[in-house]
Amino acid sequence: MLEANPGVDPFLPKAGTQLVVPQQLILPSTVREGIVVNVAEMRLYYYPPGSNTVEVLPIGIGQAGRETPRNWVTAVERKQDGPTWTPTPNTRREYAKEGKTLPAFVPAGPDNPMGLYAIYIGRLYAIHGTNSNFGIGLRVSRAVFVCETRISNIFSITSRSARASNLSIARLK
């Protein structure tokens, strides 16, 4: 988007600005099954079983210093409709340094930064929605993958135990 729209503020384009939206992409050279996350592109690819189609979603990834893990293959561990967010003690300390107090947990609802749906991959990470689409396509999270509202479709059709993989541009052939 940046290269297609030079001179346009990528965070807050002026109202009425016409944008060029690139419509083509090259699919990652990897197994085309289940969920594939390409960290370098900040994209999630979902290959439905028994289909010759792909759904592509933009994602937010881990902040600098909180690198999103790369080059792994696992499975969907579980799915949660209306997840709760439990900030880690470390996250709460970091916010406290900035004068912000985080609650012990945030229940499901419009104030929850995990959004409406979470797909837990492996035991440590989640692909989840967000209550603010502002961070999609940016390094905003704590090493998890943040999707916009279309995660609801992938949530509803992804099976538990579906293949999930992550790669970086270095692994593309």
Q: What is the CATH number of the domain that holds 106?
A: 2.40.440.10
What own/partner pairs with CB < 8 Å and gap ≥ 24 does 108-115 have?
108/82, 108/83, 108/84, 109/82, 112/83, 112/84, 112/85, 113/85, 114/83, 114/84, 114/85, 115/83, 115/146, 115/147, 115/149, 115/151
Residue 68 located in a structural domain:
yes
135 vs 39: which has the higher pLDDT: 39
Which pLDDT belongs to residue 170? Answer: 32
Which pLDDT belongs to residue 106? Answer: 93
Q: Which residues lie across from 38 on neighbouring strands?
A: 43, 167
Residue 26 located in a structural domain:
no
Q: Using the 8-state DSSP alphabet, how is residue 112 labeled?
A: -
pTM: 0.77
Q: pLDDT tens, 28-76?
A: 888 888 888 888 888 889 998 888 999 888 888 877 776 666 677 788 8
Measured between alpha carbons, how far is residue 100 from residues 97, 103, 134, 153 in Å? 7, 10, 20, 34
- The tally of domains found in the chain comes to 1
Q: Domain range holding 129?
A: 34-171
- pLDDT confidence band for 12 (50 / 70 / 90): confident
Residue 104 located in a structural domain:
yes
Calculate mean pLDDT across residues 110-129. Answer: 85
148 vs 127: which has the higher pLDDT: 127
Q: Which residues, at least 6 apart from 126, have a Cβ–Cβ distance to it below 8 Å? A: 83, 114, 118, 119, 120, 144, 145
Say yes or no to pLDDT of 169 above 90.
Answer: no
Residue 63 located in a structural domain:
yes
Helices (H) and strands (E) in the chain, counts: 2, 9
Residue 105 located in a structural domain:
yes
% of the chain at pLDDT higher than 90: 20
Q: pLDDT tens, 83-118?
A: 999 988 988 998 999 999 999 999 998 888 888 898
Residue 48 located in a structural domain:
yes
The residue whose two tokens read 């990897």 is 30
Residue 127 located in a structural domain:
yes
Residue 103 located in a structural domain:
yes
The residue whose two tokens read 């109202």 is 15
